[in-house]
Structure 1
Amino acid sequence: MNKLAEVADGRTLAKAIVNTIPEPFLVLDDDLRALAANRSFYDVFKVEPARTIGTLLYALGDGQWNIPALRELLETIIPTRTVMDDFEVEHDFPGVGRRTMLLNGRKVLYDDESATTILLAFRDITERRAVELERRALLHRTEELVRQQQTLLQEMEHRVLNSLQIIASILMLKARAVTSDETRHHLEDAHQRVMSVAAVQRHLHAFGAVDLIAVDAYLAKLCTGLAASMVSESHPIEIRVAADPGEMNSERAVSLGLIVTELVINAIKYAFPMPCGDARVLISYAVDGTSWTLGVADNGIGKDGGMSPHSGGGLGTIIVQALVRSLGAQMDIVSDTSGTAISITKPGSSSN
């Protein structure tokens, strides 16, 4: 026998079902008068059953439900649909305070079509909305702090570049003022080193001071700058970059940028003592898993042996060697009459 048939009064079952719903729940007739409400509805909205059942919804609780948004739901949307989900209402409820509610509505049609009822379920999302607002405010503050930090970093980088330019100018003035050729050479060498650091910083700054730098674009921009500042029309040298796409952190970018700058300047100054029609310097960067190889090769006069094939060693050599060691890499040099090729390789590792 059907268990439902054993229930003498279906209203008793319906009431029990309604009262098990933990969120406020209301049943309305087609005139929008309350037919039933669950215990949660009475508790949350501070109303009494005697002043609820049979009362027009908009008159409940001294008119606390006379809300334009709710009128739109019940008088416009519900008549044209049988279902309405998550209709949001924000309102000051007497005795409750300002709350944000999600309303879910269902229109129940009966077989005899003589009447309809509307089921309304209310879900309080006030705290959830407060958390969302707090999260958005925190995100906004975080973005603002990041923006301020980026502005400060850019200002600091700008000042560093200006300071480097000033130091370079002082070194050049001193070089022109001294009478000793050896001292002048050292001052000019120091001037070139400062300008190299400034060039690397300037090109990093062009990438917005982000932690991850696009390798191919960075090296291309750096070498374009070197060519523009050091290669003359009367002594043309092609500087070409062939780099695998990928990213590196800014710390490695500084080191590689200084290495490339030193080696390219070295090649421009010493590999081509006489103009030649096909003078070229190729900068390559290849990635294989977690290992990478940086190459600087020219088709100049070359020189057998020695750390610095063209100049015979100096401050630039010391700088390159120190940077290679700091990267945990190794450097190999091949130099003969067909040119010089310098290869710097960092073996792959789990921590790279």
Structure 2
Amino acid sequence: MMNPFLTVDEARILALEIVNTIPDPFLVLDSEFRVLAASRSFHDTFKVDPEETRGRTLYELGDGQWDIPALRLLLETIIPDHAAMDAFEVEQDFPEVGHRVMLLNARQLLTPEGEKSTILLAFRDVTDGRAIEREKQELLVEAERLLSQNRILLQELQHRVRNSLQIIASILLLKARAVASIESRGHLEDAYERVMSVALVQAHLSECEGMVEIEIGAFLSKLCDSLASSMSDENRPITIEVLSDEGLIASSNVVSIGLIVTELVINAVKYAFPNGGPDSRILVTYEADGADWKLTISDNGVGKAPQVGKLGGGLGTMIVDSLVRQLGAAMDEVSGKTGVSVSIVSPTFKVLLPQAA
């Protein structure tokens, strides 16, 4: 029958083989910090000779490269008090290896009598990981710097665009007042209104700077409030209301939708209420069904004569038609004695029909 108990030599050999199977550098030290055993990975990693390692104190290895104040603190102060320590960081320049960042895990094993101790010391090289972290942090700092620079440039560009639009609008208005031809004055006033509509949409978009998607209800409400305040007065009171489902739209589509709303509202103000009246009302409705949507601008004005055609066929028509095509949508207009309703619908939007009783 085989003896189940190992001899001292057999136990020592087994312990050394176990140490050598550990992939990370590993040391076994006595109470005086002399090396009782070192793993093969320790010798390979730090380029030290096994014969020059065993029996020497850790601080003597490699011409004193392990005589590190942080390591002395760990072994001589922390371990005696706590018996264990995990992820203790040590940095050092090692000959033939270079600068390394190591995380040390240490355990103190006491004899049954408590007089002598053995220290197990495991090393994990995190140099490459820390270098990647530093590189990522440097890239983040640089990216933030570039984003900040771009924000400043964008703000400056927006400021210049606003000023340029205001200057152009002022020139057009002055020219409209100066010309004698009624037709020319009408064209200049139309051009003035288009420039102001672009300026109005641009002003609202500047409030949403940096946003990929924009809350459509809030955007339309602010836009229509501005239109109402600029186009309505005591002599010609016009109410502009917004009814919108909650939803986000891509900022790339906001300009087109904003310009469509502005153009159609201007068109309604100009033509729907020739006699004015306290009940003049324009309703802007936005319906959302997932990614699909329907935008409707309607009024309770006088409607249009059949021969006029949709949107009158003028500059406003061409602008709206072009914007609708950019959105990949379709447009429909209904006119009657109770006003005009223009709908812009995304291609896959489904109109829910009332069910038969």
TM-score range, shorter chain: 0.7 to 0.9
In the aligned structure 1, how far is the partner of 2:180 from the partner of 2:319?
27
2:325: which partner in 1? 325
1:26: which partner in 2? 27
Letter in 2 for 1:240: E
Q: What secondary structure does 2:293 align onto? A: strand
In the aligned structure 2, how far is the partner of 1:2 from the partner of 1:125?
45
Q: Which moved more, 1:275-284 or 1:169-178?
A: 275-284
1:340: which partner in 2? 340
Gapped regions of structure 1 (runs ≥ 5)? none
Aligned 1:49-64 pairs, distance under 5 A: 49-64=50-65
In the aligned structure 1, how far is the partner of 2:314 from the partner of 2:233?
24
Q: What secondary structure does 2:332 align onto? A: strand
Tell me whether 1:228 sits opposite 2:229 in the alignment: yes
In the aligned structure 1, how far is the partner of 2:161 from the partner of 2:100?
54
CA contact (8 A) 1:106 1:119 kept: yes
Gapped regions of structure 2 (runs ≥ 5)? 350-357
Aligned 1:161-172 pairs, distance under 5 A: 161-172=162-173
Q: Which moved more, 1:72-81 or 1:92-101?
A: 72-81
Tell me whether 1:117 sits opposite 2:131 in the alignment: no
Q: CA deviation at 1:172?
A: 1.6
Query: Residues 117 and 256 from structure 1, CA distance in 2 versus in 1: closer, same or farther, beyond 3 angstroms?
Result: same
Query: Residues 4 and 133 from structure 1, CA distance in 2 versus in 1: closer, same or farther, beyond 3 angstroms?
Result: farther
Query: Residues 89 and 307 from structure 1, CA distance in 2 versus in 1: closer, same or farther, beyond 3 angstroms?
Result: farther
The number of residues matched between the two structures is: 347
Query: Residues 3 and 206 from structure 1, CA distance in 2 versus in 1: closer, same or farther, beyond 3 angstroms?
Result: farther
Taking structure 1 as the reference length, the TM-score comes to 0.88
Q: Which moved more, 1:117-126 or 1:272-281?
A: 272-281
1:260: which partner in 2? 261
In the aligned structure 2, how far is the partner of 1:290 from the partner of 1:318?
26
1:315: which partner in 2? 315
In the aligned structure 1, how far is the partner of 2:347 from the partner of 2:126?
55
Deviations 1:25-75 (A, max 9, x none): 111123333221123223333444454333333343333223232233323
CA RMSD of aligned residues (A): 2.6
In the aligned structure 2, how far is the partner of 1:317 from the partner of 1:81?
82
Q: What secondary structure does 2:156 align onto? A: helix
Tell me whether 1:152 sits opposite 2:173 in the alignment: no
Letter in 2 for 1:286: E
Deviations 1:256-302 (A, max 9, x none): 11100011112223333344334332212111123210111223333
Q: What secondary structure does 2:294 align onto? A: strand
Aligned 1:227-246 pairs, distance under 5 A: 227-246=228-247
In the aligned structure 2, how far is the partner of 1:222 from the partner of 1:208?
16
Taking structure 2 as the reference length, the TM-score comes to 0.86
Letter in 2 for 1:342: V
In the aligned structure 2, how far is the partner of 1:27 from the partner of 1:3?
28
1:176: which partner in 2? 177
Letter in 2 for 1:63: G
Q: Which moved more, 1:96-105 or 1:161-170?
A: 161-170
Q: What secondary structure does 2:62 align onto? A: coil
In the aligned structure 1, how far is the partner of 2:121 from the partner of 2:100?
17
Tell me whether 1:216 sits opposite 2:217 in the alignment: yes
Q: CA deviation at 1:92?
A: 2.3
In the aligned structure 1, how far is the partner of 2:99 from the partner of 2:245?
58
2:46: which partner in 1? 45
Query: Residues 327 and 63 from structure 1, CA distance in 2 versus in 1: closer, same or farther, beyond 3 angstroms?
Result: same
Q: What secondary structure does 1:54 align onto? A: coil
CA contact (8 A) 1:290 1:347 kept: no
Query: Residues 227 and 80 from structure 1, CA distance in 2 versus in 1: closer, same or farther, beyond 3 angstroms?
Result: farther
